[in-house]
Amino acid sequence: MEKKAEKKQEKIEEKGKKVTFNISKEKNFSEWYTEIVQKAELGDIRYNVKGFIVFQPWSVMSMEKMYHYMEKTLQRKGHKPYWFPTLIPEKNLKLESSHIKGFTPEVFWVTSHGNDEPVEEKLALRPTSETAFYQMFSLWIHSYKDLPFKTYQRANVFRYETKATRPFLRSREFHWIEAHCAHESEEKAMLQVKEDMETTREVLHDIFGLPFIFFERPSWDRFPGAKRTFAADVLNPDGKVVQQPSTHLLKQDFAKGFNVQFKDKDGKDKFVWITCYGPATSRIFASVIIVHGDDKGLKFPWKIAPLQVVIVPIKNEKKILDEAEKIKNNLEEKDISAEIDLSERSPGDKFYFWEMKGVPLRVEIGEKEIKEGKLTLFRRDIGKKEVISNLDLLSYVDKTSKEIDKNLIKQADNLFNNRVVDVVDKKQLKDSIDSGKIARCGFCSVDEDGAGCAEVIEKEVLASVRGTKLEKETPSGKITKCVICGKKAKEVVYVARQY
């Protein structure tokens, strides 16, 4: 499988060759994903460490923009940026028992240097940085006046995944932002959790166009060391969900383990309440590819497109190229990224190529356009051409870019419509999950008592309990019993298959 994929990757690297892409995303989602990652040159899987890929320019340019919007939003809400070391001493990880237990199987350890001489102490390549941040929190936080203490960093983290890896979706190294905040009370920490959810909506939904549902995870699915875990599930066209940002209210074990105390207004020493939030940029990028792409290739929301406008000269003649250059400069002056396709491909091949790459707008310019003072514009999101006066280009781009984003968000939101169905027993549950739905059902308990029923769902339905909504729904109507054991339902939960 991997060999075959490698061969294909070599082929498309023959520059200037015709690139065609036409795979049904609905019918062959898996093949579609593998192919688009290679053809659009998003990630090269041939790097010779298993589970690691090279991020190529087309994905990096988009992810840089994604980072920009996420960081800007976090900073606006009072988070300060940090860059922490990649290495974490083993003793830090050990300070919180469930944390070390949860992460140990996935940790890459650094145990030697130089000629295999042992390091003074065993070090972890950060799988996540709670235990790096909080040790420093104890040095920086002294008084209630220091709170809330809101931080974040953009970083790459390492986890030895044993499940099959997939570019951007699951790799042994991924790129993310982790935000860590200390608060004076549990109530204030919970407000932070809600703010993190709002941030997710503002950035992932309103800018990246990703629809999701935020769930509180059941007790058996919490982040190691968390009192409460909330996570956003994005839906794939094949009905499976991908977990996107999660935000956690941590148990005070972390604050106690690292002795993060503050003097409160009443003069007493108290332990802080900590929250952490982790939007994984590379995995969010996977959802952008998956949610927006179609059978012809990628589609990018305007603000995070690696390239916003491609200019295709119908012939490589001086008069046409001069005009193309003028258009490019005009767009760039307005901070719109633009490129002229000067390759040897035929105009038709150029059209296919840039549609596959997901460039939101294409400007076509030939002799006819120059003579008439017009331009032909093509919108990737709806696949339609429009002819405009060349004097109107900037106002057209300004207006259309907004329409493109609105349209992509609407299309993506529709993905969720009719996808959530109510079920009352195991058979209905299995049938609806098999047909690519998210099931809403009654459940006995999201505490340890319900773990048995959750296991039945994992084994027999091959799906998992994603959790409850933040605004808890009370069982009512036909949802009154646990979908598995039939006992009186305490909760309304959602069940889906996960990537």
Segment interacting with Zn ion (CB under 5 A) among 10-18, 378-386, 465-473, 481-489: 481-489
Give me 484's structure tokens: 């598995």
Segment interacting with Zn ion (CB under 5 A) among 224-232, 329-337, 365-373, 476-484: 476-484
Segment interacting with Zn ion (CB under 5 A) among 249-257, 305-313, 316-324, 474-482: 474-482
Q: Which ranges of 168-252 does DSSP label H, i.e. alpha helix? A: 186-200
Name the minimum Å distance from CB 485 to Zn ion: 3
Q: Hey, what's the torsion of the CAs at 191, 193, 195, 198, to 10 degrees? A: -140
The interface with Zn ion within residues 100-139 (CB under 5 A) comprises: none
Segment interacting with Zn ion (CB under 5 A) among 76-84, 381-389, 426-434, 485-493: 485-493
Please count the CA atoms within 13 angstroms of the CA of 484 that sit on its side-chain side.
23
Give 64 or 449: the residue with its C-beta nearer to Zn ion: 449
Q: How many residues are given for the chain? A: 499
Name the minimum Å distance from CB 241 to Zn ion: 21
Give 391 or 462: the residue with its C-beta nearer to Zn ion: 462
Name the minimum Å distance from CB 60 to Zn ion: 46
Name the minimum Å distance from CB 414 to Zn ion: 33
The answer for residues whose C-beta is within 8 angstroms of residue 450's C-beta and 6 or more apart is: 218, 443, 444, 465, 482, 491
Name the minimum Å distance from CB 424 to Zn ion: 13
Give 264 or 425: the residue with its C-beta nearer to Zn ion: 425
| Separation in Å, CA 301 to CA 11, 123, 140, 207, 362 | 29, 40, 40, 7, 14
Please count the CA atoms within 13 angstroms of the CA of 327 that sit on its side-chain side.
34
Give 364 or 491: the residue with its C-beta nearer to Zn ion: 491
Residue of 280, 331, 446, 484 that binds Zn ion (CB under 5 A): 484
Give 152 or 443: the residue with its C-beta nearer to Zn ion: 443
Segment interacting with Zn ion (CB under 5 A) among 190-198, 385-393, 404-412, 479-487: 479-487
Give 374 or 487: the residue with its C-beta nearer to Zn ion: 487
Task: Compute how many residues bind Zn ion; rule: CB under 5 A.
Answer: 5
- Classify 150 as helix, strand or coil: strand
Count the neighbouring beta carbons within 10 Å of the beta carbon of residue 440: 18
Residue of 482, 492, 493, 495 that binds Zn ion (CB under 5 A): 482
- Classify 287 as helix, strand or coil: helix
Residue pair 91/97 in contact by the 8 Å Cβ criterion: no
The whole-angstrom separation of Cα 265 and Cα 326 is 64
Asked if 485 interacts with Zn ion (CB under 5 A), we say: yes
Segment interacting with Zn ion (CB under 5 A) among 8-16, 99-107, 259-267, 475-483: 475-483
Name the minimum Å distance from CB 448 to Zn ion: 12
Q: Which ranges of 168-264 does DSSP label H, i.e. alpha helix? A: 186-200, 253-257
- Classify 417 as helix, strand or coil: coil
Name the minimum Å distance from CB 220 to Zn ion: 13
Give 285 or 443: the residue with its C-beta nearer to Zn ion: 443
Site string for Zn ion, 436-455 (x = CB under 5 A): --------x--------x--
The residue to which tokens 């058979």 are assigned: 427
Asked if 415 interacts with Zn ion (CB under 5 A), we say: no
Site string for Zn ion, 156-185 (x = CB under 5 A): ------------------------------
The whole-angstrom separation of Cα 251 and Cα 38 is 42
Name the minimum Å distance from CB 63 to Zn ion: 41
Angle formed by the axes of helices 57-76 and 281-292, nearest 10°: 110
Name the minimum Å distance from CB 452 to Zn ion: 7
Q: In DSSP terms, which residues pair with 117 in a beta bridge?
A: 113
Give me 267's structure tokens: 């003069």
Q: Which of 280, 310, 268 is nearest to 159 (CA)?
A: 280
Asked if 461 interacts with Zn ion (CB under 5 A), we say: no
Name the minimum Å distance from CB 423 to Zn ion: 14
Name the minimum Å distance from CB 219 to Zn ion: 14
Q: Provide the 8-state DSSP code for 14.
A: S
| Separation in Å, CA 248 to CA 28, 81, 214, 417, 494 | 35, 19, 12, 28, 19
Binding residues (CB under 5 A) for Zn ion: these are 444, 453, 482, 484-485
